[in-house]
Amino acid sequence: MNEIRAKYIFKITVIGDGFVGKTSLIRKFTQGTFKNDYIKTIGAQFSVFNEEIDGDICKLSFWDIAGQDEFHFLRPAFYKDSKAAIIVYTLEENDLGKESFKHLTNWHEDIKKFCGDIPIVVFANKVDLVDKKSLDNTKIQKIVRKRNYLGYFITSAKTGEGVSEAFQAIIRELYYKYKAIFSELSGTN
């Protein structure tokens, strides 16, 4: 079987507190599936996915980093060579939701310390568990502007709402950024 040769290879780190749905979001995007059972990520796991944009194949490796504090010492090694990051929090109206939102800036500082200023998007996950009409986006919009994130997306790994659009935003950002750099370096702009 012939392996598709990718023109671009991107490592995208997916971070956030435990139980916010990082693994489920990746699985929904890469495999189109969802499992109700929670499986704790130990350290990190990764998924590979090929995406074609403008005739070019992009090989994406999504690194799903465990959100529990007991794995914090492993993160610097897992962050290495990341080209972008996705920070996930949950919209649930409980302590987990409040804490995961409060920790967004901590996650950003953590990845920034090891990767510099890479493109970041925020996924506000589990919209299927809340009343979407009552969501107040002013706080997250303020954080997105202040921290210069590419944006934020309301998602549901369970229903698939917003998942493809959210992943496509970061993938396309990387593709066009690196295509421009490649063109400039090769003198084909």
Model-wide pTM > 0.95 = no
Pick the CATH number of 8-186 from 3.40.50.300, 3.40.50.11540, 3.40.50.2300, 3.30.1280.10: 3.40.50.300
What does the domain layout of the chain look like in residue ranges?
8-186
**Ranges 100-114, 131-145, 171-185: which has the least confidence:** 171-185
Candidates 60, 47, 128; CA nearest to 90 is: 128
**pLDDT tens track for 61-100:** 998 877 666 666 677 778 899 999 999 999 999 999 999 9
